[in-house]
Amino acid sequence: MLKYVVKRILQAIPLLFIISLITFFIINLAPGDPIYMFINPETANPVDVEVIRKSLGLDKPIYIRYILWLKNVIQGDFGKSFQHGRPVLEMILERLPNTITLAIVSTIISFLVSIPVGVYSAIKRNSILDYMFSTFAFIGISIPSFWFGLMLILLFSLKLGWLPSGGMRANFEEFDLIDRLRHIILPALVLGMASMASQMRQMRSAMLEVIRQDYIRTARSKGLSERVVIFKHALRNALLPIITIIGFIIPWLVSGAVVTETIFSWPGIGRLYIHATFMRDYPVIMGVTIISSVMVVVGSMVADILYALVDPRIKYN
């Protein structure tokens, strides 16, 4: 396993290099100039424009800028934000815990709903509840997250007044668990809806496949109770496809948090990324992209390791 992990890390290095290269050139070749975020292009003095361009390091050719950026990143320096003048890594690490918290809560909600519902749908196949859960899953996959978020705000915040419409907390002076939970419920539901619906369908399909196997028939023929057969013998093997997805959930949720955090004004890296995009803050865009890419690589590796732990037959040589 150690050799496998080292091999995956070495394989990830050229992948991250290609991602950074493509992203850097795309954002720098996109229409617009970040210096005009600071001055009016119609009244700007050409001398002032060149001074600002030089101060931001934009006066050099694009390939020279990439080489300098890459050299600094290898040393752990992601540069400074054009707009805020703060180190990019500091800004990301400041907001990353908020995004991870949101992703973890949405993942917990997703699994608490999807696994039991998927198992029940498989056991009670073609029942009324199975059809209802399947319909809910298809709707959950199809609904755009921004629309679902707006509908939840309209219902629970504006109409009923039960939950806040945005932000992370109301009390900034001291930690209030109830207040934090009230603020995180709606964005966590929105963020976890698509994965919840998808996992319900996958759990149902995996469970249907497992309960048809010969060893399940053998377990039943031995007189074992249905509860033991389902939860001890069938569920563990049915979880294998879900385990494969676990490693990708957090990176996927972090990328999906861009829309959710914007709708609910959640102070995470998704909202930071959107703001940096509108302001053409190249260092922040690159920093968030690289951090997200690293999380995808780590998530894939974690999924493979969990897969081997759950199924002893799988070996990585």
Q: Yes or no: say if 256 and 194 are a contact pair by the CB < 8 Å rule.
A: yes
Tell whether the model's pLDDT for residue 232 goes beyond 60. yes
CATH of 92-310, one of 1.20.140.10, 3.30.470.30, 1.10.3720.10, 2.60.40.1220: 1.10.3720.10
pLDDT (mean) for 259-283: 85
Share of the chain above pLDDT 90, in %: 0
User: Over the stretch 181-213, which tens digit does the pLDDT of each residue have?
Assistant: 888 888 888 888 877 888 888 888 888 888 888
Q: Yes or no: say if 123 and 202 are a contact pair by the CB < 8 Å rule.
A: no
- Cα dist from 211 to 27, 35, 130, 217, 224, whole Å: 50, 62, 16, 8, 14
Tell whether the model's pLDDT for residue 5 goes beyond 80. no
Q: What is the pTM of this model?
A: 0.78
Per-residue pLDDT at 210: 83
- In the chain, where the domains are located: 32-77, 92-310
Per-residue pLDDT at 251: 65
Tell whether the model's pLDDT for residue 19 goes beyond 70. yes
Per-residue pLDDT at 41: 66
Residues of the chain by 3-state class (helix, strand, coil), percent to 5: 75, 0, 25
Tell whether the model's pLDDT for residue 263 goes beyond 80. yes
